Amino acid sequence: MIRVSKRLTGGSRAKVSEPQFYANKAVQEYAQFKPTPITLRQLLFYERHRTNERLLKSANYVRQELPIRIAHRLRDMQQLPFIVGMNSHILTVYQLYLDAFERLRCCKPIETLGDNARFCQTLQHSLQDHLVVIPHLALGMQECQEYITIEKRDNFMNTLLRSRISRRVLAEQHLVLSGCPPVVTSAANDDLPESGKTMVFQHCKAQQILRNCISRLEPKYPGIKMIIQQSCDVEFSYVLDHIEYILYQILRNSLCHTKSRHPSHLHACPPIYITVCANDTDVYFRISDKAGGIPASVYPQLWSFGRHGNFKNVKTWTGTINEQIANENDPAAAQLMPLGMGLPMSKVYAEFWGGDISIMTLDNFGTDAYVRIPKLGDQLEHLDEEFSASD
């Protein structure tokens, strides 16, 4: 059951009208509360057994939970080195979070379907506004590379992204329960159904997800075969966007490196082999390439948001934040975001519901990526680690 805490009732506090970066009592007050993590199975239960009573319960849980989760991230941003916190991109993210925090904490308890309809508009508004967060973060972190250690930056990014996933899942799930489209789709996303998502958790078929990723990638890397060699067709409930993101990203890395290793004989490129299997608790994907492996000097930096030029694309990228926003509405396009964060981001997605990614490499030969996705949905959201500003 989703628990609705009575500790914060909302609606009674004065609104903070400007970004008081280091002194915001409401943020401090909310950040004292720990988030209440939930499992995928709890969310799924609400999606499958919708009643008005559960809808209002869900609304009040989301209403109380989001400001707490945002307050923790606002506090993290306050702990960044001053020069990083004052970067214009980071400040933009801070302001967006502060606005959402205020909007949400000022929502009164939701007692009727009418209250819920208004609350849903607030959620839609916030989801839409926050589409710019990732590009701004990437640009901000790239501009501040010299002012923050790599460890702190990774810690900050991991915590922030994990929390962002959690908030967006909660908000989208509640909108779906309420029959509202989670995000207004843009003209750039003709391939999305008009009403947007109708379910956050979808009945996922491992082979189908892989085939979708392959068919999107094939035209971009002609001549490199992706072969599903051994596969049981596992079916399970999961957040489809999350798995698609991970598999697309890993396949794309393999294709990209295969292409660089064999630039002039694409027709003779070694194929990428994919294996899917499952046991009672997990689904496993293995993606194997012969793209030359990862040098020992690069391997330890694979999961870093800042090392080995992971932000290098941001520096040379000539697109606009608006293009990024258009892309973010479309998981397929978002996977192409040239922000250089695909691999660490995939790990955040995989670990979010208790899965993981590991990479084994033979330098000068090839790489195997292993993705484990728990299929029972009984693990709590991975929220526990906090950003630590101290060394």
Can you tell me the distance from the alpha carbon of 278 to that of 372, in angstroms, rounded to the nearest whole number? Answer: 9
Binding residues among 166-185 for ligand COI as defined by CB under 6 A? 167-168, 171
Closest CB to ligand COI: residue number: 130
Q: How many CA atoms lie within 13 A of 300 on its CB side?
A: 4
Selected from 90, 123, 141, 383, the binder of ligand COI by CB under 6 A is 123
- Residue type for position 266: L
Does 66 interact with ligand COI (rule: CB under 6 A)? yes
With vertex at residue 120, the alpha carbon angle to CA 97 and CA 178, rounded to the nearest 5 degrees, is 135
Selected from 133, 183, 204, 383, the binder of ligand COI by CB under 6 A is 133
Residue 260 in contact with residue 267, Cβ under 8 Å?
A: no
Residue 193 in contact with residue 133, Cβ under 8 Å?
A: no
Q: Which stretch binds ligand COI (CB under 6 A): 23-31, 126-134, 211-219, 291-299?
A: 126-134
Residue whose CB is less far from ligand COI, 72 or 130:
130
Q: Which stretch binds ligand COI (CB under 6 A): 122-130, 257-265, 281-289, 366-374?
A: 122-130
Q: Which stretch binds ligand COI (CB under 6 A): 119-127, 178-186, 220-228, 254-262?
A: 119-127
Does 130 interact with ligand COI (rule: CB under 6 A)? yes
Q: Provide the greatest CA pair distance for the chain.
A: 68
Q: Which stretch binds ligand COI (CB under 6 A): 120-128, 185-193, 220-228, 292-300?
A: 120-128
C-alpha dist (Å) from residue 159 to 69, 143, 391 = 11, 20, 16
Q: Which stretch binds ligand COI (CB under 6 A): 42-50, 162-170, 195-203, 235-243?
A: 162-170
- Residue type for position 204: C
Does 345 interact with ligand COI (rule: CB under 6 A)? no
Closest CA to 244 of 276, 210, 271: 210
Q: Which stretch binds ligand COI (CB under 6 A): 49-57, 81-89, 112-120, 121-129?
A: 121-129
Closest CA to 388 of 85, 143, 75, 141: 75
Residue whose CB is less far from ligand COI, 70 or 332:
70
Can you tell me the distance from the alpha carbon of 55 to that of 390, in angstroms, rounded to the nearest whole number? Answer: 41
Give the DSSP letter of residue 132: G
Within 10 angstroms of residue 377's Cβ, the number of other Cβ atoms is: 18
Q: Backbone phi, then psi, for 285, in 5-degree steps?
A: -125, 135
Binding residues among 239-268 for ligand COI as defined by CB under 6 A? none
Angle formed by the axes of helices 150-177 and 52-78, nearest 10°: 160
Q: In angstroms, what is the minimal distance from the CB of 320 to ligand COI?
A: 20
Q: In angstroms, what is the minimal distance from the CB of 187 to ligand COI?
A: 21
Does 126 interact with ligand COI (rule: CB under 6 A)? yes
Site residues for ligand COI per CB under 6 A: 66, 70, 100, 123, 126-127, 130, 133, 164, 167-168, 171
